[in-house]
């Protein structure tokens, strides 16, 4: 079942490439249909999902692959990965719908995004480090072509910067993986076995070095301060759906790696260095929010808020490493909040980037000062943007609040210093309201004049993402019921 979910988009991508005679319209609809079917399959998995328990995976599949290094094709899901798998399927479907009016080479674009979808889903279900690494790097390659091929402005340079930076990061990650492999006895790349073995336990230097390599690799992808400078140009020059996937899905690969690989496999080193992770988280939150506040370009601003939002995740998983006897519940709440934040940020920032894409498509600029009073000609865009902005600043009733409340409540209880990051939710509130004010209110002027409101495809794709955010915000239990047991397991594993 999982293999089908992972490889169905890839098969469709190959078919699109192999049959060049398919028209543009057919290609676009093939993409939508395949993404919808994939989402339906994920929904089926979600409905049949039962928590697999400590150190186990649901819907597990395993086949020999590279027996020489004990690496196998091993996949499965648990409460950490299933929400991200579902979020990935939703975002790719939203992108497919959004791109229904795309005129620039729709067939190769559809193929490329289907390829990226397979790669992203594969990463979240991978239970083998080599498999994980493979998908990790392929995602970088895919996104390079998306930015370079369909971007604007200085797309080639931004794409190259993105590629080189994250690719270098992935090399650090690979070094860490090899360290784990060598330290494991018997040598293996299998994630489940590695989490059980906790190689390098008792070796503070070795554990620290391997953790450092893995952290650097994941920090570049997440990204955290100071490894984030590839993000703003990549977003600014990427096409709307590319930005949505980059922010919505690809960034999660970094934070997912933290909870999936670093925490369970290197618990001792994680506890020893938890304070560094907390500090990096706090700095990312505050720094990301402040720099976002100073931006005049909407897309750059949203890009920097991603640094801020991913900072909350880093901070929470760092606080989860501050182990004390009576804070297990608080730490589990923090990790639950972190995973919820990954899902929430994917939906909300994906929606905001799609809306930013509408601005570019209609008026050719992201400069907030060029607009004004846009709510007049484009009330639907104004409404959706306002909902997205409020979701992003963590307003209750929307998913961001569920994530951030748990992150802060749990983290402050486990590591009081994290209260410093509360200033982040205040600054993001100010910057989003300022953006709303600049673009949408006042007399209609500048680029807003004659602006065409959202078309049905745009409305439906963005609307769906925001409705999901609303559902999670009001009725979080279905999501939290999946995440909470897994978060407790992570906390238990880190505490070993």
HSE value, Cβ hemisphere, 13 Å, CA-based, for 255: 35
Among 241, 333, 342, 363, binds another protein (CB under 8 A): 333
Omega before residue 223 within 30° of 0, cis = yes
The contact mask relative to another protein for 158-177 (x = CB under 8 A, - = no) is ---x--xx------------
For residues 422 and 322, what is the distance between their CA atoms, to the nearest angstrom?
19
CB nearer to another protein: pick between 11 and 164: 164
Among 430, 452, 455, 496, binds another protein (CB under 8 A): 430
Residues 6 or more apart in contact with residue 313 via CB below 8 angstroms = 222, 255, 258, 281, 338, 341, 342, 345, 407
In the complex, what is the shortest distance from the CB of residue 115 to another protein, in angstroms, rounded to a whole number? Answer: 27
Contact 133, 173 (CB under 8 A): yes
In the complex, what is the shortest distance from the CB of residue 405 to another protein, in angstroms, rounded to a whole number? Answer: 6
For residues 73 and 125, what is the distance between their CA atoms, to the nearest angstrom?
11
471 lines the binding site for another protein (CB under 8 A): no
In the complex, what is the shortest distance from the CB of residue 475 to another protein, in angstroms, rounded to a whole number? Answer: 9
The torsion angle over the Cα atoms of residues 320, 324, 330 and 333, rounded to 10 degrees, is 30
Instruction: Choose one: 7-15, 61-69, 255-263, 284-292; the region binding another protein (CB under 8 A).
Output: 284-292
429 lines the binding site for another protein (CB under 8 A): yes
In the complex, what is the shortest distance from the CB of residue 284 to another protein, in angstroms, rounded to a whole number? Answer: 12
322 lines the binding site for another protein (CB under 8 A): no
Tell me the two tokens of residue 411: 């983290």
Residues 6 or more apart in contact with residue 114 via CB below 8 angstroms = 9, 10, 12, 13, 16, 31, 34, 35
Q: Give, as ranges, the residues between 398 and 427 that touch another protein (CB under 8 A).
A: 401-402, 405-406, 408-414, 416, 419, 422-423, 425-427
Q: Under rule CB under 8 A, how many of the chain's residues touch another protein?
A: 58
In the complex, what is the shortest distance from the CB of residue 76 to another protein, in angstroms, rounded to a whole number? Answer: 26
Among 397, 446, 485, 495, binds another protein (CB under 8 A): 397
Contact 102, 28 (CB under 8 A): yes
In the complex, what is the shortest distance from the CB of residue 451 to another protein, in angstroms, rounded to a whole number? Answer: 15
293 lines the binding site for another protein (CB under 8 A): yes
Q: What are phi and psi of 456, to 5 degrees?
A: -55, -45
326 lines the binding site for another protein (CB under 8 A): yes
In the complex, what is the shortest distance from the CB of residue 267 to another protein, in angstroms, rounded to a whole number? Answer: 23
Among 20, 67, 103, 477, binds another protein (CB under 8 A): 477
229 lines the binding site for another protein (CB under 8 A): yes
CA distances from 133 to 43, 170, 242, 284 (A): 26, 8, 21, 25
CB nearer to another protein: pick between 208 and 377: 377
Instruction: Choose one: 85-93, 235-243, 263-271, 441-449; the region binding another protein (CB under 8 A).
Output: 441-449
Among 138, 175, 212, 433, binds another protein (CB under 8 A): 433
For residues 311 and 333, what is the distance between their CA atoms, to the nearest angstrom?
17
Among 170, 243, 295, 344, binds another protein (CB under 8 A): 295
8 lines the binding site for another protein (CB under 8 A): no
71-77 and 58-66 strand pairing:
antiparallel
In the complex, what is the shortest distance from the CB of residue 462 to another protein, in angstroms, rounded to a whole number? Answer: 14
In terms of residues, how long is the chain? 496
Q: What does the DSSP assignment read for 94-145?
A: HHHHHGGG--SSHHHHHHHHHHHHHHHHHHHHB-BHHHHHHHHHHHHHHHHH
325 lines the binding site for another protein (CB under 8 A): no
Helix and strand tally (H, E) in the chain? 20, 2
For residues 195 and 173, what is the distance between their CA atoms, to the nearest angstrom?
17
In the complex, what is the shortest distance from the CB of residue 443 to another protein, in angstroms, rounded to a whole number? Answer: 6
- Paired with 77 in beta bridges are 58
Residues 456, 458, 464, 470, CA torsion sign: negative
Residues 52, 58, 63, 66, CA torsion sign: negative
359 lines the binding site for another protein (CB under 8 A): no
375 lines the binding site for another protein (CB under 8 A): yes
55 lines the binding site for another protein (CB under 8 A): no
Tokens 């928590």, residue? 51
335 lines the binding site for another protein (CB under 8 A): no
Contact 117, 92 (CB under 8 A): yes
Among 68, 186, 202, 443, binds another protein (CB under 8 A): 443
434 lines the binding site for another protein (CB under 8 A): yes
390 lines the binding site for another protein (CB under 8 A): yes
Contact 55, 195 (CB under 8 A): yes
Q: Residues interacting with another protein, by CB under 8 A? A: 161, 164-165, 226, 229-230, 287, 290-291, 293-295, 326-327, 329-330, 333, 336, 373, 375-376, 379, 383, 386, 390, 395-397, 401-402, 405-406, 408-414, 416, 419, 422-423, 425-427, 429-430, 433-434, 437, 440-443, 476-477, 480
């Amino acid at each position: 079942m999982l293999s089908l979910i992972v490889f169905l988009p890839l098969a469709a991508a190959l078919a699109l490439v192999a049959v060049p005679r398919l028209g543009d319209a057919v290609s676009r609809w093939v993409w939508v249909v395949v993404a919808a079917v994939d989402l339906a399959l994920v929904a089926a998995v979600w409905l049949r999902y039962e928590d697999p328990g400590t150190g186990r995976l649901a819907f597990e599949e395993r086949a020999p692959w590279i027996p020489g290094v004990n690496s196998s094709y091993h996949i499965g899901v648990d409460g950490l990965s299933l929400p991200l798998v579902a979020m990935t399927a939703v975002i790719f479907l939203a992108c497919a719908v959004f791109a229904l009016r795309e005129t620039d080479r729709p067939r190769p674009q559809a193929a490329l995004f289907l390829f990226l979808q397979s790669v992203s889903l594969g990463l979240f279900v991978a239970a083998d480090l080599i498999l994980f690494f493979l998908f990790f790097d392929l995602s970088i390659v895919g996104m390079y072509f998306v930015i370079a091929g369909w971007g604007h402005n200085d797309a080639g340079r931004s794409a190259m910067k993105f590629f080189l930076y994250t690719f270098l990061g992935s090399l650090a990650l690979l070094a860490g993986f090899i360290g784990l492999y060598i330290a494991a006895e018997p040598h293996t790349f299998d994630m489940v076995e590695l989490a059980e073995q906790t190689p390098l336990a008792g070796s503070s230097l070795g554990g620290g070095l391997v953790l450092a390599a893995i952290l650097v690799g994941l920090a570049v992808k997440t990204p955290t301060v100071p490894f984030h400078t590839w993000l703003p140009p990549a977003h600014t020059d990427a096409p709307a759906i590319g930005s949505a996937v980059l922010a919505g899905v690809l960034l999660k690969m970094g934070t997912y790696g933290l909870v999936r690989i670093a925490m369970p496999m290197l618990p001792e080193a994680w506890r020893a260095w938890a304070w560094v992770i907390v500090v990096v988280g706090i700095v990312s939150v505050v720094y990301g929010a402040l720099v976002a506040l100073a931006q005049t370009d909407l897309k750059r601003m949203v890009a920097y808020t991603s640094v801020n939002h991913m900072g909350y995740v880093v901070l929470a998983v760092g606080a989860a490493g501050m182990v004390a006897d009576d804070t297990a519940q608080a730490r589990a709440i923090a990790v639950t909040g972190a995973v919820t934040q990954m899902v929430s940020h994917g939906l909300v920032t994906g929606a905001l980037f799609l809306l930013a894409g509408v601005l570019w498509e209609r008026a050719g600029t992201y400069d907030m000062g060029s607009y004004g009073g846009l709510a007049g000609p484009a009330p639907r865009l104004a409404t959706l943007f306002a909902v997205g902005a409020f979701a992003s600043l963590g307003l209750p009733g929307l998913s961001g609040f569920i994530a951030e409340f748990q992150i802060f409540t749990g983290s402050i209880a486990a590591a009081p210093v994290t209260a410093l990051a509360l200033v982040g939710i205040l600054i993001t509130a100010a910057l989003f309201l300022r953006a709303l004010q600049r673009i949408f209110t006042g007399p209609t002027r500048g680029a807003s004049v004659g602006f065409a409101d959202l078309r049905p495809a745009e409305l439906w794709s963005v609307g769906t993402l925001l409705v999901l955010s609303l559902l999670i915000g009001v009725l979080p239990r279905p999501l939290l019921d999946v995440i909470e047991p897994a978060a407790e397991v992570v906390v238990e594993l880190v505490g070993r």
